[in-house]
Structure 1
Amino acid sequence: MSWLQLTLEAGDHTVVQLEDALLEAGAVAVTLSDAVDEPVLEPAPGETPLWRRTLVTGLFDAGTDVETAKHLVCAALGCDELPEARIGALEERDWVRAWMDHFHPMRFGRRLWVVPSCREPPEPEAVNLLLDPGLAFGTGTHPTTALCLEWLDGVELAGRSVIDYGCGSGILAIAALKLGAASAHGVDIDPQALHATRENAAVNGVDKHLRVGLPETLPGQAADVVLANILAGPLLMLAPRLAAATRPGGHVVLAGLLERHADELEAAYGEWFEMQPRGLREGWVRLHGIRR
């Protein structure tokens, strides 16, 4: 099955007006996209920022009459003439399968691999973490996740306890366990993330050593390693909590922040931690501190 796409650029009409008009004209879905490659890298919590030039695309059944759809959009907008529109076809695809076709095994550090279930591990004797794309964030493809995985591969984790704060897919907690950690606790506020973490832990055979829950389920005992791959704003607010969750001599690893936020985060966490050299990849920063 194929679909028809009708795309308009927000200008004389707002994004909301165009969304409503496309839906009134029979669109089954509406998406927003950037018209001029202006990425939004890190919105503040609770914000849904838009680009200065935004494209609004309505998805219609392939049998829709284009001229009728355009007339209905124009009528809903109350305009005499429809703004410049682009018409295109979209073929039906298995989007998860298409994504997985481009998701190959990835190596982090000396011995850790993240491998999709549809692929054979390149090094069967290495530490192989099986992970497929799903509803929760975290497959190793983003620089922030890669920075954390490389750090985990480079430290001694045998017998240590780990907290993964903002666990997403559970990739960091699971990697820590497969690299020798004795126990891990995955924390997230998203129920889908908690579900994904439990499933991925079971697939990797570490579910007996991984607890998963909301922030209030954090153990009272401080951990040897605390990982938080989230965003700069929440990391700043969580500094006292993450410091309390890290035992003296333990490690905190912070990621999900851009270079411009690194100094502020280092200063905040420096109240409790001896900050170590930064990790850097594609403009993203990993901070590492040792608890006093």
Structure 2
Amino acid sequence: MAWLQLHLATTEKHADAFQAALENLGACAVTLTDGADQPVFEPPPGTRPLWQNTVVSALFEADAELELILSALQQQGLQADAHHHETLEDQVWERAWMDDFSPMRFGERLWIVPSWTDAPDPNGVNLKLDPGLAFGTGTHETTALCLEWLDGHALNGKTVLDFGCGSGVLAIAALLLGAGQTTGTDIDPQALIASEENARNNGVADRLDLFLPEQMPAEYRCDVLVANILAGPLVELAELLAGYCKPGAGLALSGILAEQANDVRDAYSRWFDLTPTTQKGDWVRIDGVRKSA
């Protein structure tokens, strides 16, 4: 069975109206994508920001009448800035999606391996992880920077805090690399659920403690702290994160654009001896060691 896919260029203001109208006209699926490479970094809770230039894509059965769909939209006052369409041949969509993800190596030992593939290096440290609801599968530069840092450190028996744990990928990687009891914290309860499930799938759930930030033990201290969030929150949380670190503790921070690096370094230099910034694409990692006083 073939499908008709219609793409409509519009604005943030009208995207929801296009989506609702297309669904009412029989679209099997509607997706919204960025029409102008405009990043949306961290929306406030309960909001769903869209791009100023949004492409609304609708999937219809192949016998749908394109001109009738466009006419019906116009009658509702919905005029796209531009549009085009294509015919998609049927395929096993689940397999097509799965083919987009393959094992990835970070550093010398660590691999992230989707559950449906074999580990390229059976003797490596293989973290089983599938794409899910919470951010963090290793595909983004910020996650990769942190995974490479963890792979390069001796973690045996050390306590680790993954602050803003998302899918739990950094905490689980630390555990597989030999860390002792590890903690993950995130403001999103869904992230904690994803982290617990991923830890269970990797056989390390018994060594991973998960908390909302307000539930963190008051006297908690760790040997290693990783935080892959964003520059603004990192700056605001500098004193809190420093307080979680024992003297001599290792620190790795990411989620930072290159032009934001100096602001983050300034915020942490009071408590940490920082090494030179590491960059991958537009993103950087800042790491160092907690001062003794």
TM range (shorter): 0.7 to 0.9
Give the conservation status (yes or no) of the 8 Å contact 2:40–2:49: no
The question of 1:69 aligning with 2:69 is answered: yes
Give the conservation status (yes or no) of the 8 Å contact 1:28–1:59: yes
Give the structure 1 partner of residue 188 of structure 2.
Answer: 190
Give the conservation status (yes or no) of the 8 Å contact 1:225–1:250: yes
The question of 1:167 aligning with 2:161 is answered: no
Coordinate RMSD, CA, aligned: 2.6
Deviations 1:52-95 (CA, angstroms, capped at 9, x unpaired)? 5432223334443323222210110177xx76532223455555
Give the structure 2 partner of residue 155 of structure 1.
Answer: 153
TM-score, normalisation: structure 1: 0.87
Q: What is the CA-CA distance between 1:217 and the residue it aligns to? A: 2.5
Unaligned runs of 5+ in 1: none
Unaligned runs of 5+ in 2: none
Alpha-carbon separation, structure 2, partners of 1:35 and 1:221: 45
Give the structure 1 partner of residue 101 of structure 2.
Answer: 103
Q: Aligned in 2, Cα 1:208/1:231: closer, same or farther, shift over 3 Å? A: same
Number of positions where the alignment pairs a residue of Structure 1 with one of Structure 2 = 288
Give the conservation status (yes or no) of the 8 Å contact 1:44–1:233: no
Alpha-carbon separation, structure 2, partners of 1:284 and 1:172: 17
Give the conservation status (yes or no) of the 8 Å contact 1:24–1:72: no
Give the conservation status (yes or no) of the 8 Å contact 1:136–1:192: yes
Identity of aligned residues (%): 49
Give the conservation status (yes or no) of the 8 Å contact 2:10–2:81: no
Give the structure 1 partner of residue 220 of structure 2.
Answer: 221
The secondary structure found in structure 2 opposite 1:4 is strand
Give the conservation status (yes or no) of the 8 Å contact 1:18–1:77: no
Alpha-carbon separation, structure 1, partners of 2:81 and 2:103: 46
Give the conservation status (yes or no) of the 8 Å contact 2:136–2:166: yes
The secondary structure found in structure 1 opposite 2:76 is helix
Deviations 1:180-209 (CA, angstroms, capped at 9, x unpaired)? 111111112223321221111112111110
Give the structure 1 partner of residue 22 of structure 2.
Answer: 22
Q: What is the CA-CA distance between 1:20 and the residue it aligns to? A: 4.5
Greater shift, 49-58 or 270-279, is seen at 49-58
The question of 1:55 aligning with 2:60 is answered: no
Give the structure 2 partner of residue 277 of structure 1.
Answer: 276
Give the conservation status (yes or no) of the 8 Å contact 1:43–1:49: no
Give the conservation status (yes or no) of the 8 Å contact 1:24–1:76: no
The question of 1:232 aligning with 2:238 is answered: no
Give the conservation status (yes or no) of the 8 Å contact 1:185–1:218: no
TM-score, normalisation: structure 2: 0.87
The secondary structure found in structure 2 opposite 1:236 is helix
Greater shift, 61-70 or 185-194, is seen at 61-70
Q: What is the CA-CA distance between 1:17 and the residue it aligns to? A: 4.5
Q: What is the CA-CA distance between 1:102 and the residue it aligns to? A: 3.5
